[in-house]
Amino acid sequence: MMTTTFAQNKNAKASIEVDGVCLMCKSRIEKGAIKTKGVKSAVWNIETHQLSLIYDERKTNIKAIEANVAAVGHDTKDVKATDEAYNSVHDCCKYRDETIQADHKKPKGGGGN
């Protein structure tokens, strides 16, 4: 559990914060991450905004993955998406907009309980 790493791990795990609001964002973020060569598994949690990664440290690193996630329009803790990339996401996914954030917090769906 210590942070020192002895050798480069081919199944390294990491969890990074990525901004987003909905299931469309989830799919976009995961796709952006997994298209990075060396990323084996990428799962984004819509509620905690954490992107859980398994990747090969010999082939890639967190910076590169963050860059790719930012490239599809999603801010990570360290790398912000360019305005151009951000503007490419669907209107309902504009996570920087507070009204859209609020929209996604409303309970969805009718019927049943």
Partner 1 sequence: MKNILYILFLLPTLMLSQEVLKGVVMETQDTNNELPVLDANVVWLETTIGTTTDFDGNFTIPYKKEYKKLIISYIGFTTDTIEINEPNFLRHVLRPKGDLDEVLVKTRRKASATSYIEAQNVIKISSAELLKAACCNLSESFETNPSIDVNFADAVTGTRQIRMLGLKSPYILITTENIPSVRGAAQTYGLSFIPGTWVESIQVTKGAGSVTNGFESIAGQINAELQKPLTDHKLFVNAYGSVNGRLELNTHLNTKVTDKWSTGLYLHGNLRDQKFDKNDDSFLDIPLMQQINVMNRWQYTDGEKGWVSFINFRFLNDEKQTGQVDFNPDTDKFTTNAWGSEIDTRRYEVSAKLGYVNPDIPYQTAGLQVSYSDHDQESYFGFNQYNIKHRSIYANAIYNSIIGDSRNKVKTGLSFTYDDYEELVNADTFARKENSLGAFFEYTFDNLDDVNLTAGVRVDNHNRLGAFITPRLHIRYTPWEKSALRFSAGRGKRSANIFTENQQLFSTSRTVNLVNSGGEIYGLNPEIAWNYGFSYLQGFTIFGRKGDVTLDYYRTDFQNQVVVDWENPDEISFYNLEGDSYAQNFQAELNFNVADRWDVRLAYKYYDVQTQYRSGKLEKPLVPNHRIFANTSYETQKSENGAQWKFDTTFNWLGEQRFSSTSTNDVAFQLPENSPTLGTLNAQITKVFSDNFEVYLGGENITNVRQDNPILGAEDPFGSNFDTTFVYGPIFGSMYYAGLRFNLN
Q: What is the DSSP string of 18-81?
A: B---SHHHHHHHHHHHHTSTTEEEEEE-TTT-EEEEEE-TTT--HHHHHHHHHHTT--BSS-PP
Q: Token pair 């989830």 is at which residue?
A: 26
- DSSP conformation class of 96: T
Q: Scanning residues 71 to 100, which ones bind partner 1 (CB under 8 A)?
A: none
Q: Which of 50, 62, 64, 96 binds partner 1 (CB under 8 A)?
A: 50
CB of 65 to partner 1, least distance (A): 12
Separation CA 77–CA 82 (nearest Å): 14
CB of 87 to partner 1, least distance (A): 20
With binding defined as CB under 8 A, does residue 7 bind partner 1? Answer: no
With binding defined as CB under 8 A, does residue 101 bind partner 1? Answer: no
Residues that bind partner 1 (CB under 8 A): 1-3, 11, 13, 15, 27, 30-31, 34, 39-42, 45, 47-48, 50, 52, 54, 107-113
